[in-house]
Structure 1
Amino acid sequence: MQLEDIKKIGVVGAGTMGQGIAQISALAGYTVVLYDLQSSALDTAKNNIGKNLDKGIERGKVTAEEKDQALSSIAFTTDFELLKADIIIEAIVERLDVKKELFEKLENQNSDKTILASNTSSIPITRIARDLRHPERFVGMHFFNPAHIMKLVEVISGVATSDDTSKVVYELAKVLGKVPVMAKDAPGFIVNRVARNFYVEGLKVLEEGVSDVKGIDRLVEASGFKMGPFRLMDLIGVDTNFSVTTSMFNAFHQDPKFRPSRIQEQKVDAGHHGRKSGKGFYDYSA
């Protein structure tokens, strides 16, 4: 597979990340199929992509014609059999068993040239690809939230990933307007491994009663960060952030520095997932 051979991009999962990946792929001129189990999720995705493109028009970054072309290039579907493309990018729940099952199905219904990519932020690529017939065509393509704005993409090679596959995905990321970085396979890869302490230590300070959520965020932001840990967790998704922390905690054999927070777990249990649910560490319902 060469970069010029990629004409159609499949995206699995119409959540926040999947929406963004589908949007930038369509804007880059690719035909896109966005799949989700829930038709309601697809309706929300279509609406959100339209709003994002409207904001792009307001800022002079997207034309009305580009918006119409992008939306017409995306097929929104609940039919799994339509997931046939030159590269398929998964953006679903951070569970190894679910991802493995998905990619085995995708491999069975796609050609021997199709590249399969995971947007996982913490699960080792080698583990996901272990039972595939062609693990050399499997790679990590980790976007950052929001995917239509954030520039960085980690391209992660598993033990069996071929150099050609990684190089094609690296070049594709650049075509999508991103800044790709090659990474080797390890829990959390580069960014999430380094950033995990940003979240975990913020939560420990909260647990110990040193300060409240607003106080911690204000101090961190005053020191130069654009967002404090709690505002950022609300943006990313409290549930997503908790899932990544839990995954890394287990991957590093329960290393205490990655211990998930009980406060964050309670937020997840209550359905307070951040901006997307209207409430997280902050209230967005007003």
Structure 2
Amino acid sequence: MNLLGIDIGGTTIKADVYDEQGISQGYTREFATGVDMTQGKNWIADQLRDLVRDVQAELSLDGLAISTAGVVDSRSKKIVYAGPTIPAYAGLDFQKEIGDPFGLPVSVENDVNCALLGESWKGLDEAYQDVAMITVGTGIGGAILQAGKLVNGHAFTAGEVGYLPIGSQDWQSLASTTGLLKSYQLETGVALADGRAFFERLDQGEEQAQQVFEYFISNLAQGLLIMSYLLNPQVLLIGGGILARADKILPALRQRIAELVVDSRFLPEQILAASMGNEAGRLGAVKHFLRMQASESSFKK
């Protein structure tokens, strides 16, 4: 079976072909997401059709497994809500617009949900069936796995933990990479380009960077503790580019959560950094496709 795994983000679209074991077949593609912010439009559907044509010129495909930003109705295979990074995205019907022209079945799921599925499939011990994951970047996204199954919610917004209120702000304003850099700018008056620049200053022993880091960790810990109290997962999994510095983040985070928690029985067994990198979303999309196909086959029987 050849499945085209596609991960659609606000800035790039990444794709590769996988078999049913999640093994790459070596057809990696990456290109900029087709959006025009000034005119408020996108041409993602055109890009995906071009992608399918390109890959099918080299091998036969059995399905399209899509991971995407936005709120996804995985049953109707449509985007039901999208933020400003992909304008005019809501309403896109992936089966009708992408799958049907090629006679291919399609599965679609939210990108953080797919990242969690990918990590659970290829990165974690299979004994872990109750897992909560966040991705830390421009904002904070979340996903929930209970008894091995994704929790979507009645309106497909389960896991949108970035909006959790922490004091007078939402969690992602305080504990995302964006929030970290904003806190540093407020403290020092210096605008840093990215998280890498911040951690360079932290490594150099800069006192203000250390203070900002402790504030960031405390805020990150508060949100994770809420998730732990509510969901009682075996594993809290943290992803995002900033976790390239897991060596700094995880020890400080584990310590702060241990200080804040009422009792250790409320804590997960493990607090871990995601390990599958950018491939997690594509792998999770493939896993979701396989589950959807198995479910449909079972229903038909």
Could you state the TM-score of these two structures normalised by the residue count of structure 1? 0.33
Structure holding more strand per residue: 2
Structure holding more helix per residue: 1
Q: Tell me which structure has the larger Cα radius of gyration.
A: 2
Could you state the TM-score of these two structures normalised by the residue count of structure 2? 0.32
Relative contact order, CA 8 A, sep 6+: which one is greater? 2
